[in-house]
Amino acid sequence: MKVILYMAISVNGMIAKSDDNTSWITPEEWRSYSLFVRKAGNLIVGRRTYEILTKQPEFAEFKDIKLVVVSKKQDINLVSRKHLIAESPKKALTFLKNFKRIVVAGGGTLNNSFLEENLIDEIYLDVEPIIITTGIPLFKGKEFVKNLKFINQQKISENEIQLHYTIVK
């Protein structure tokens, strides 16, 4: 099993504005992300990301995937029977152990937890042409350092690129 962190980020590493707004993410980036998640057949997100994602009309594209929400709170209003709640990153992975590729997609605190526990194998970053001075960073939490190895890059659109890294373990 390979665990992949996949996120859209601003040029300066923000995944959302301070008010959780992600309206700056382009349709081209959404198509790239949605296709990646649907091919994997699964997705792991944090509680706040789940609450934001399920309000988006595009979320309907994920009706056939298995989704796990990582949260210490168990009283989350799940919108599908295919959705589960896990109290930790490791528990979330046990729910998806039969998948070859597992996609983790935020928020910043969840991303940090997975990386801190050495559970991420690869990172895909779709870089949007915007600078957000205050917002939610890609990683938020305990401080540590991880080294990455560049795999490749590709253009998503005229102004967007995707960077692909592996974690040096």
CB atoms within 10 A of CB 23: 7
HSE-up of residue 65 (Cα within 13 Å, Cβ side): 23
Strand partners, 155: 161
What's the pLDDT score for residue 98?
A: 97
pLDDT one digit per residue (tens) for the chain, 169 residues: 999 999 999 999 999 999 999 999 999 999 999 999 999 999 999 999 999 999 988 899 998 899 999 999 888 999 998 899 999 999 999 999 999 999 999 999 999 999 999 999 999 999 999 999 999 999 999 998 999 999 999 999 999 999 999 999 8
CB atoms within 10 A of CB 85: 19
Q: Total domain count for the chain? A: 1
The residue range of the domain holding 24 is 2-167
What's the pLDDT score for residue 73?
A: 87
Q: How many angstroms from the chain centroid is the CA of residue 3?
A: 11
What's the pLDDT score for residue 74?
A: 85
Tell me, what CATH number does 79's domain have? 3.40.430.10
What's the pLDDT score for residue 27?
A: 94
| SS3 state of residue 101 | strand
For residue 56, give the amino acid letter. Q
Outline where DSSP puts E strands in 49-100.
Answer: 66-70, 83-86
For residue 125, give the amino acid letter. L
